[in-house]
Amino acid sequence: MIAYLEGKILRNEADGIILLAGHIGYEILLDNITLSMCMEKSKVDEAIALYIYYHVTDRQPKPVLIGFLTPEDKEFFQLFITVSAIGPMKAIKALTRPVPQVARAIEDRDTAFLSQLTGIGKRTAEKIVATLNGKVLAFAGAQSPVPAAGPTEVTDALPEESQIMVRQVAEVLTEQLGHSASSAKRMIRQALENNPSISSPEDLFDEIYQETR
């Protein structure tokens, strides 16, 4: 069974990518957020690393590979599909918001938020809460916005150009990927300590996700 793949994007598709790994092209389905992050990394010709959920059943005999940037996202997905009426294909389309936001909505019993996810109606949202409430708190984190001056606290000694880079990355981490402000600061600080020569948002993202592998 395939659990992890690393390679370059051979071609992007509407709902995923073809990843070239070891001279073999793997068709991998991705949620919209993961697809966007992968395309950003591919712009600078960097390798894409994905944790894979391998799906095959009697009713779905053709193997389907679903990719995630972190083991935590994959683990949440595996919990999400334990909800009745939500299979892997429906789940990957439904995850149009960052995992921490979805998990927080489940813990807060916010069916209105969950109903806004693609393909999730009110009844399914209620099933999600009934099945997963109390089980996904570890994925929720703190949903607090990044203060305007927050990111500069991490790197006050950096030149202005680098501080702009840090602010851009912190924005994506919190507003698009659902990390808390404190988590974003910690990841950025650790990445810059590990590699002080980082000079672009793409390099900073790459170093951050190297740390999460």
Per-residue pLDDT tens for 106-163? 999 999 999 999 999 999 999 999 999 999 999 986 443 334 334 444 455 566 677 7
Looking at the fold, whether 59 and 80 belong to one and the same domain comes out as no
> What stretch of H or E contains 76?
helix 71-80
Tell whether 57 is covered by a domain: yes
Say whether both 173 and 208 belong to one domain: yes
CA-CA distance, 135 to 77, in Å (whole number)? Answer: 13
The pLDDT assigned to 156 comes to 54
Domain extent, residue 109, equals 75-86+94-140
Contact 150, 171 (CB under 8 A): no
Domain count, the chain: 3
Q: Within this chain, do residues 119 and 166 fall inside the same structural domain, yes or no? A: no
Is the overall model pTM greater than 0.85, yes or no? no
Residue 145 falls inside a structural domain? no
Confidence at residue 42, expressed as pLDDT on a 0 to 100 scale: 83
Strands (E), 58-212: 64-68
Round to whole Å and give the CA distance between 158 and 13: 39
Please state, in angstroms and rounded to a whole number, the distance separating the CA atoms of residues 94 and 56: 20
Whether residue 13 sits in one domain with residue 55 = yes
Judgement on whether residues 156 and 208 belong to the same structural domain of the protein? yes
Give every CB contact of residue 52 below 8 A, 6+ residues apart in sequence: 2, 3, 4, 5, 28, 65, 66, 67, 68, 74
* Rg (the chain; Cα; Å): 18
Q: Give residue 18's pLDDT.
A: 96
The answer to whether position 171 is within a domain reads yes
Backbone angle region of 87, left / alpha / beta, with phi > 0 → left and psi within -120 to 50 → alpha: beta
Please choose, from the candidates 76, 17, 89, the residue with its C-alpha nearest in 3D space to the C-alpha of residue 48. 17
Within a domain: 167: yes
Quote the pLDDT of residue 155.
52
Work out the percent of the chain whose per-residue pLDDT is above 90.
Answer: 51
Residue 158: per-residue pLDDT:
65
pLDDT score for 143: 42
65/30 Cα distance (integer angstroms): 9
Specify if 32 maps to a domain.
yes
Residues of the chain with pLDDT under 50: 142-154, 212-213
Q: What is the pLDDT of residue 157?
A: 56
Asked whether residue 106 falls in the same domain as residue 51, the answer is no
**Structural domain contains residue 197:** yes
**Does 208 reside within a domain?**
yes
131 and 162 in a single domain? The answer is: no
